[in-house]
């Protein structure tokens, strides 16, 4: 098959691994810098161009779209979809997962466990949110944050109010969330492909830190999931309509709670911790579902 990978940087671990796995399995794999693709949308024959050439004959596209370029990246991916190319993850599914409000609403409607979370726009309401999610301690999160950067633990009501005031002053969108203390500074990343959790790891925050992000010095170890965790992860990915997802779960006293669903989950941490060849599993999924002339699996719109 001829496979396109949308990625800003071909040297990234995940991109390199996908290319390597695709080639090893006998496919032609091309990496395109998402922001350098341009499109012809107003004709009967939608096209995508790259460095002066029209991209034709692709059977599948693997989107690796960073949060900062979601809008344009999804437009490029949609264009591939309009041309009949099979997307490993569909643009509409990635759009759902990227929007934290929309995804929380979808997950809660499907009965997936979530930490109590409040959203507000006005400052007066924001203060009442602390009470709504059960009072301090709370976690206040910037909606735009990644790698744990915009995530603050406020131990007291006073601290929470100050953080909310500061975020509001900066005109940043945020959520107020119940703090899951019993998670003990760790969370579980479940890597979902199709209807299977193919790998899982626990990430443990370093001493004195509650955020388990590997970028913040957290450490990853392979973990065994409970049946409830497994089904929660699958349900979360399915609710978004994602074929490939990294579902982050907090282990709480009332069972697994989903923190977020990542639509371009990184491979480095999970392959390192589990020693599994996840890149090849992604390619195999495309072989099974994206083959020309085969019926396509499509998420609901
Ligand atoms: P980011 O998208 O920046 O990674 P997260 O929402 O994933 O932000 O939060 C970063 C880390 O902080 C999580 O991996 C988890 O370890 C910790 N954390 C986040 N929310 C909570 C919470 N409500 N209770 C306990 N720990 C949390
Ligand atoms: Mg996270």
Beta strands in 57-208 (DSSP E): 60-63, 86-87, 117-119, 138-142, 151-154, 174-178, 186-193, 196-204
What dihedral do alpha carbons 147, 148, 149, 155 form, nearest 10°?
180
Structure tokens at 5: 């990978």
Q: Which residue has the higher pLDDT, 101 or 283?
A: 283
Mean pLDDT of the chain: 93
Question: What pLDDT sits at residue 215?
Answer: 87
Lowest mean pLDDT among 8-17, 126-135, 156-165, 276-285: 126-135
Compute the distance between CA of residue 117 and CA of residue 243 in angstroms, rounded to an integer.
26
Question: What pLDDT sits at residue 245?
Answer: 98
| 117-179 belongs to CATH 3.10.20.580 | no
Nearest CA to ligand 1 atom 12: 211
Question: What pLDDT sits at residue 292?
Answer: 61
Atom of ligand 1 nearest to the CA of 146: 3
Pick one of 3.40.50.261, 3.30.470.20, 2.170.120.20, 3.40.50.300 as the CATH number of 96-104+183-283: 3.30.470.20
Using an 8 Å Cβ cutoff, are 96 and 103 in contact? Answer: yes
Domain boundaries in the chain? 2-91, 96-104+183-283, 117-179
Using an 8 Å Cβ cutoff, are 292 and 235 in contact? Answer: no
Q: Is the CB of 220 under 6 A from ligand 1?
A: no
Q: Do domains 96-104+183-283 and 117-179 have the same CATH topology?
A: no
Q: Is the CB of 147 under 6 A from ligand 1?
A: yes
Per-residue pLDDT tens digits for 264-295: 999 999 999 999 999 999 999 999 998 664 44
Compute the distance between CA of residue 139 and CA of residue 104 in angstroms, rounded to an integer.
16
pTM of the model: 0.94
Place of tokens 């969108």: 173
Question: What pLDDT sits at residue 298?
Answer: 46
Q: Choose one of 146, 151, 184, 220 to mutate for the ligand 1 pocket test, by most ligand atoms within 8 angstroms of C-beta.
A: 151
Compute the distance between CA of residue 167 and CA of residue 171 in angstroms, rounded to an integer.
6
Compute the distance between CA of residue 199 and CA of residue 201 in angstroms, rounded to an integer.
7
Class level of CATH domain 2-91 = alpha beta
pLDDT(66) > 80: yes
């Amino acid at each position: 098959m001829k496979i396109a990978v949308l990625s800003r940087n071909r040297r990234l671990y995940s991109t390199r691994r996908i290319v390597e796995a695709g080639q090893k399995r006998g496919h032609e794999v091309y990496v395109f810098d998402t922001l350098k693709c341009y499109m012809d949308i107003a004709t009967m024959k939608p096209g995508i161009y790259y460095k002066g050439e029209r991209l034709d004959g692709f059977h599948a596209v693997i989107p690796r779209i960073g949060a900062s370029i979601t809008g344009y990246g999804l437009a490029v991916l949609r264009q591939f979809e309009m041309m009949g190319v099979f997307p490993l993850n569909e643009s509409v599914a990635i759009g759902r997962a990227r929007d934290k409000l929309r995804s929380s609403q979808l997950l809660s409607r499907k009965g997936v466990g979530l930490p109590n979370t409040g959203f507000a726009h006005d400052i007066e309401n924001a203060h009442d949110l602390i009470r709504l999610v059960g009072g301090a301690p709370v976690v206040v999160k910037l909606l735009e944050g990644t790698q744990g950067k915009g995530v603050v633990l406020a131990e007291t009501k006073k601290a929470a109010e100050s953080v909310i005031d500061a975020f509001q002053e900066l005109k940043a969108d945020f959520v107020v969330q119940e703090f899951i203390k019993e998670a003990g500074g760790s969370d579980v990343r479940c890597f979902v492909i199709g209807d299977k959790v193919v790998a899982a790891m626990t990430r443990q925050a370093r001493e004195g830190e509650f955020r388990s992000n590997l970028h913040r010095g957290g450490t990853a170890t392979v973990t065994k999931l409970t049946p409830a965790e497994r089904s929660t992860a699958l349900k979360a990915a399915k609710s978004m309509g994602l074929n490939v997802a990294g579902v982050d779960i907090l282990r709480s006293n009332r069972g697994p709670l989903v923190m977020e669903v990542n639509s371009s989950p990184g491979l480095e941490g999970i392959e390192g911790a589990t020693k599994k060849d996840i890149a090849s599993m992604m390619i195999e999924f495309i072989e099974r579902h994206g083959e020309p002339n085969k019926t396509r699996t499509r998420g609901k719109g």
